[in-house]
Amino acid sequence: MTTSLRTWVRYLLALGSHYSGLDALYRRCRGAGLVILMLHRLRDDHDPYPLSVPRAQLRQIVAWLRERSALVALGDGLASLSSIRAPRVNYALTFDDGYRDNLGLVDGALGREPVPAVVYVATGHIGGEPIWAYRVVHAVESRSRDQIDLGGLGLGHFDLSLADDRHRLYTLLPPRLKTLKPAELQTWVDRICEQARPRPLPHDDRDMLEWDDVRRLAANGVEIGGHTCSHAILSRLDDSAASEEIGLSRASIAAELGQAPRHFAYPNGSNADFGDRDVRLVREAGFETATTSIEGVNRRGADPYRLRRYNVHEDRFRAPSGRLSRALFFSETSGMLGWLREWRAA
C-alpha cells in the first residue's frame, strides 16, 4: 500500500469512527483514561525534524479539549484514573528538552486562560547549546561551507547547497548518531560544525530556555520536570553515570526553583532507551512519575514510571488536505485506531 493510500485509509477510518460515535463508544467501554501529549517545540518555522507544532495548531487542539473540559494538569489526570466519579478520558500536555519557544505557554499565544503543562528540561542545556539535533540544524542552515564528509559514519559525502542532500542528511544522520555512545555522538556533532563553519547565533535567537525563563514558566503555573542533564539516553550509560544524570537534573531544578520537581521524562523514551534499572533510579531520586515516548492511553493501574504519550508535531493529525483534523485527533488518541491496527495484524 502506498503512503498516499495509507494516509487516505487512516483518515477515512478516523472520519467514520469519530462521526459515527464509535470512538466515543470505545472510550466509554474502556473507561477512565489519561492521554498525555508529547510536544517539543512551539513555533511556526519549518522544522526538518518532526518536533515542532505551530502555535495556531496547538491553540486549536487546546480549544477542542476545553470544549470537553478534558484538559488537566498531569498530576490531576493521574489522580482521576482512580476516581470513583463517572469515568472519562482526560488530556495532559508535556514538552520535552526545554526550548525557549515553550514560553508561548505563558505569553498569551494559546489563549487568555493558563494552559496546564509540564516542561521537562535537560538542565545541562539551559542557557547553553541546544540539543545536538538543533546544533546540526544550525550548522546546516547557517553554514559558510557546503561540503560535509561523513564517511567515518558510513554516510558518505553531502553537498549542502543541494536541497536533496540537506534532506538526506536530516534523514540519515539522527538514527546513525543515536547508535553512538554520548562522547562519540558529541565528537561527531563537533566535526559537522567544524566542517560547516556556521555563522554565530545571535543571543536573541537562542534555542534553549535560560533559568530566568524557567522561573517565569514556573511562576505562571507550568510545572518543571527533569529530563537528565545532558539529554543522555540512559540505556547506554553505566549505573553511576545514569544515576548522576537523573539525580543532578533533579537537584539543579530544586536549587534554581526552590522546589524539587515531581515529574521526569526519559530522553528518547522508547523501550530501547530505558529499562528497569532506570525506572528504579528515577523512583529512588524522588520523582513521582516518568513518561516515555511509547504511544497509548494510560488506564487505571498504569505504572506511574512508564507512562505512555502521543507524539504531536506539525504533520500529526492532518487530513490529506493538509488541514488539522478533529476526527483524526480524537480517534487516534482514543486508542481505537491503534486497537484496530493491532486487531487486523493479529
> Alpha-carbon distance 89 to 246, whole Å?
31
236 with 95, same domain: the answer is yes
Average pLDDT over residues 323-337: 89
Beta-strand runs (E) in the chain: 33-39, 41-42, 52-53, 89-97, 117-121, 147-150, 156-159, 223-226, 263-265, 289-291, 298-299, 310-311
138 with 103, same domain: the answer is no
CA of 226: how far to CAs of 133, 182, 216, 261, in Å? 19, 19, 17, 7
218 with 244, same domain: the answer is yes
Task: Read off the pLDDT of residues 202-242 as tens digits, 9 standing for 90 and up.
Answer: 766 789 999 999 999 999 999 999 999 999 999 999 999 99
Last residue of a domain, one of 168, 196, 224: 196
4 located within any domain: no
51 located within any domain: yes
> Alpha-carbon distance 31 to 110, whole Å?
29
114 with 159, same domain: the answer is no
282 with 136, same domain: the answer is no
Task: Read off the pLDDT of residues 33-54 as tens digits, 9 standing for 90 and up.
Answer: 999 999 999 999 888 888 999 9
254 with 221, same domain: the answer is yes
Placement of cell 536533496 in the chain: 164
146 located within any domain: yes
More confident call, 48 vs 344 = 48
pLDDT, averaged across the chain: 92
How many Cα atoms sit within 13 Å of 27 on the Cβ side? 19
Q: Which domain holds residue 42?
A: 31-127+209-315
Buried b or exposed e, range 110-141, using 16+ CB within 10 angstroms: beeeebbbbbbbbbbbbbebbbbbbbbbbbbe
Percentages (nearest 5) of helix, strand, coil residues in the chain: 45, 15, 40
290 with 272, same domain: the answer is yes
Give residue 109's pLDDT band: very low, low, confident or very high (50, 70, 90): confident
14 located within any domain: no
- The number of domains in the chain is 2
93 located within any domain: yes
Res 23 pLDDT > 90: no
Give residue 250's pLDDT band: very low, low, confident or very high (50, 70, 90): very high
215 with 306, same domain: the answer is yes
Calculate the dihedral angle through the C-alpha atoms of 276, 277, 280, 281, rounding to the nearest 10 degrees: -150
9 located within any domain: no
Q: Are 186 and 124 in contact (CB under 8 A)?
A: no
Task: Read off the pLDDT of residues 130-161 as tens digits, 9 standing for 90 and up.
Answer: 999 999 999 999 999 999 999 999 999 999 99
Which has the closest alpha carbon to 99: 178, 210, 198?
210
Average pLDDT over residues 72-91: 86
The predicted pLDDT at position 85 comes to 65
